[in-house]
Structure 1
Amino acid sequence: MPVFLSRYLVVLVAAASVGAFAYVQSAAGPLELVVLLASAMTLLMASVLERYFPYRAAWNRSMGDGVTDWASAATMVSVVEPMLKLLGALAMLAVYGHSGVDNAGGLQSLPFVLQVLLAALLIEFGKYWSHRLHHKVRSLCWLHAMHHSSERLYALNNLRFHPLNYIVNFAVSMLPAMLLGFSAETILAYLAVSQPVLMLQHANLDLRSGWANYVFSTNELHRWHHSTESAEAEANFGSAFILWDQVFGTFSYLPGQNDPAQVGLFASTTDYPAHAGYWTQLKSMLSPECCRG
C-alpha cells in the first residue's frame, strides 16, 4: 500500500466525511444521507483496497464464513437499524411529546461543536462499557461471540453482530444521548466522524496510522482485540475513539507490533458454535450453555 494511504487513510476518510457533512449542513441538505453515503463508500473502498493491499493475504480467502457475514450485514441494515430508529423515535415521543427535543433545555444553547463533542464523549462512554461488559458477563459474552467467532479480519466483519448485542450497545449509548436532549443533527455529526472510522476498523489493510492510533480505534489497535490470547484481547474496547481505553487503563498500542498470531475466540470457548452458520449462532443464545457459569 502507498505509504501516504497507509499513514493517513483513517484521518482522510474521517475528514472527508466531516467536510461533506458541514457542506450539506450549510445548505440545509439531507444529513442522514451524507452519513449513509460516507459509510457505504468507505466500506466499499476498504473492500476494494484489501484485494490489492492485504495485511494478510489469507484473510482475503473465505473460511466458510462469507454467508454468515453477509446474512448478518443484511439483517443489521434491513431490520435492526430501522427498528432501532423507530424505537428511538418512540422513546423521544414518550419523553418530550410532540414538542420534540427543542424543549430539552440548555444543550441546545451550546455551540454546535461543543454539543457534538459532549455527545461523542457520552456515546463512546456507553459503547466502551457495553463492549467491556460483553467480555465479562457470561450471557453477554455469548452474544458478542458471534462477532469474535470470525477467524479472519476484513471489512465486512464490522457488520457481524448478534442483533441483541447491537441493541444493548444502542440502549446504553445512542438512546441516552437522544433522551438527554442532543439533537438529531448533533448525533449525526458524531456519526459523520465515527462511522467511516468504524468501516475501516476490521479492514484487511496494513495501515500504520501513527499518532491517529491515540485518537481513533483503528484496525491497527483493534486487531489485537480480536486475538485468541486473552492477555492481548482484553484491551482496546473503544468504538470509534480510543479515549476511554486510555482513561480506564485498557489502551494497548505497541508501534511496529501489530500482528497477533491468530484471531478468533479464546481457546477456552469450546461450547460456542463458532463454525456454524448465522442462524445457528443467532439461536444459540437459547441454549443452556449460554448462561452457564
Structure 2
Amino acid sequence: MSLHALGESLGADALRWLALLPLVVIGIATLEGLVHSFWLRRAYDWRAFAASIADALGRRAIDALGLSLATPLLLWAHEHRLQTLALSTPLAFGLLFVGQEFFYYWYHRSAHRVRWFWATHAVHHSPNELTLAAAMRLGWTGKLTGTALFFTPLVWLGFPPNAVLASVALNLLYQFWLHAPWMPRLGPLEWVLNTPTHHKVHHASNTEYLDCNYGGVLIIFDRLFGTFVDERAEVPIRYGLTTPLRTHNPLRIAFHEWLNLGRDLWAARGWRARLLTVFGPPGARP
C-alpha cells in the first residue's frame, strides 16, 4: 500500500494542487528578477537564478524515482497509529498545524546542527544573494537522507500521512515569500510569525547570525527554545555559506557538501571520529 493511498482525500487533493504550484513560484521569482533588472536597474544574478531552477528540476526528477528513507517508517507508524484523527474540526486542523510547526522546527535545527542533514540543507544556503529564486534551491538528497522521519510522530499519533505531507508542503510554500529581503518589517506580527526580516537573518553567514530562526510559519519555537536572533543595524548581513560557494554548476551545488563530508570521513581515524564527522555539527573536530 502506498502513502498516497493511505491519506484522507483532503491531504491527497492538497498534494495534487501543490504539485502545480512550482510553475506559479517560478513565474513570481522570474518577475522579481525582471523588476530588479529592468525597472529598478539593479544587478541581478541570472546565472544563480538558472542554477536554482536547475536544482528544483533535478529534485523533482529524483523524487519521481520514489526513493525515500522515511517511507517504511511512515508506513509502520500509520499501521501502528495510536488512533485515527479525522481532519473534520478546526481543532484537528489546529493541532496538525502546531504539531507540524513543532517538528519542522526540530528538523530545521537538526539540518543545521547534524552534518548528515546539513549536507543536503547546505544547498539552500549556497546562494550568495537572497532572492525568491533561492527559495527553490533545496537540494536533491532530502528524501534519501530521511528528513521526513521528523514528522513520523504525527502519523503515529493518528494524522493521515498525506495530510502530514501536505502540511509540510504548505509550510515550505509559505516560506517562499520569506526570501524577499526587500520586504519591510511587519510590526507586531514579527513576534509570532516567521517573516522576511527573521528569515534573512537565518540566511546570513555572519558569526553573529549563525544557527538561528529555524521556524517555518511561526517564530514562537525559536523564542521558546532560545534560537531567535533579531537583525542588528550594526551588523550588515552577508548571505551564503561561511565558505562561499562560487559556482553555478547544479551538480557541484547539489553535491559539494557531500564531497566535503566524504573527504573528512576518509581522513577520520577511529569510530568516534567517523561518527562525529557524520552526525556531529558542521565543522566539528574529534
User: TM-score scaled by structure 1?
Assistant: 0.68
Q: Distance in 1 between matches of 2:34 and 2:208?
A: 31
Render the CA deviation track for 1:226-263: whole Å, top value 9, x for unaligned.
Answer: 11212113221112321211111112335x95983321
What are the equivalent positions in structure 2 for 1:197-208 lying under 5 Å apart? 197-203=174-180, 205-208=182-185
* 2:263 paired residue number: 288
Letter in 2 for 1:250: T
Deviation of 1:53 after TM superposition, in Å, equals 6.5
Checking the alignment, whether the CA contact within 8 Å between 1:154 and 1:204 is kept in structure 2 is yes
Checking the alignment, whether the CA contact within 8 Å between 2:101 and 2:217 is kept in structure 1 is yes
Partner SS state of residue 250, structure 1: coil
Q: Distance in 2 between matches of 1:238 and 1:155?
A: 18
Deviation of 1:207 after TM superposition, in Å, equals 3.8
Q: Distance in 2 between matches of 1:53 and 1:281?
A: 24
One of 227, 238, 259 as aligned partner of 1:262: 238
Render the CA deviation track for 1:85-121: whole Å, top value 9, x for unaligned.
Answer: 8964x65554555xxx9x752533x753222222222
Deviation of 1:222 after TM superposition, in Å, equals 0.7
Checking the alignment, whether the CA contact within 8 Å between 2:78 and 2:155 is kept in structure 1 is no
- Relative to structure 1, the CA distance from residue 205 to residue 169 in structure 2 (aligned partners, 3 Å threshold; closer, same or farther) is farther
Partner SS state of residue 66, structure 2: helix
Checking the alignment, whether the CA contact within 8 Å between 2:109 and 2:214 is kept in structure 1 is yes
One of 173, 187, 193 as aligned partner of 1:216: 193
Q: Distance in 1 between matches of 2:25 and 2:187?
A: 20
* 1:107 paired residue number: 85
Render the CA deviation track for 1:161-206: whole Å, top value 9, x for unaligned.
Answer: 2333465432213x33233321257437735853442121213542
Partner SS state of residue 141, structure 2: helix
- Relative to structure 1, the CA distance from residue 66 to residue 259 in structure 2 (aligned partners, 3 Å threshold; closer, same or farther) is farther
Q: Distance in 2 between matches of 1:170 and 1:145?
A: 17
Q: Distance in 2 between matches of 1:114 and 1:186?
A: 15
Q: Are 1:275 and 2:247 matched, yes or no?
A: yes
Q: Distance in 2 between matches of 1:182 and 1:134?
A: 24
* 1:45 paired residue number: 28
The percentage of aligned residue pairs carrying the same residue is 22
Letter in 2 for 1:70: I
Letter in 2 for 1:246: R
Q: Distance in 2 between matches of 1:57 and 1:233?
A: 31
Aligned residues: CA RMSD:
3.8
- Relative to structure 1, the CA distance from residue 274 to residue 149 in structure 2 (aligned partners, 3 Å threshold; closer, same or farther) is farther
- Relative to structure 1, the CA distance from residue 221 to residue 187 in structure 2 (aligned partners, 3 Å threshold; closer, same or farther) is same
Q: Distance in 2 between matches of 1:117 and 1:66?
A: 36
Letter in 2 for 1:151: N
Which ranges of structure 2 fall in alignment gaps of 5 or more residues?
A: 1-8, 266-276, 278-283
Checking the alignment, whether the CA contact within 8 Å between 1:128 and 1:238 is kept in structure 2 is yes
One of 132, 149, 174 as aligned partner of 1:171: 149
* 1:20 paired residue number: none
* 1:61 paired residue number: 45
Q: Are 1:229 and 2:206 matched, yes or no?
A: yes
- Relative to structure 1, the CA distance from residue 47 to residue 214 in structure 2 (aligned partners, 3 Å threshold; closer, same or farther) is farther
- Relative to structure 1, the CA distance from residue 201 to residue 43 in structure 2 (aligned partners, 3 Å threshold; closer, same or farther) is farther
Checking the alignment, whether the CA contact within 8 Å between 1:221 and 1:258 is kept in structure 2 is no
Partner SS state of residue 146, structure 1: coil
How many correspondences in the alignment? 254
Partner SS state of residue 135, structure 1: helix
Letter in 1 for 2:239: V
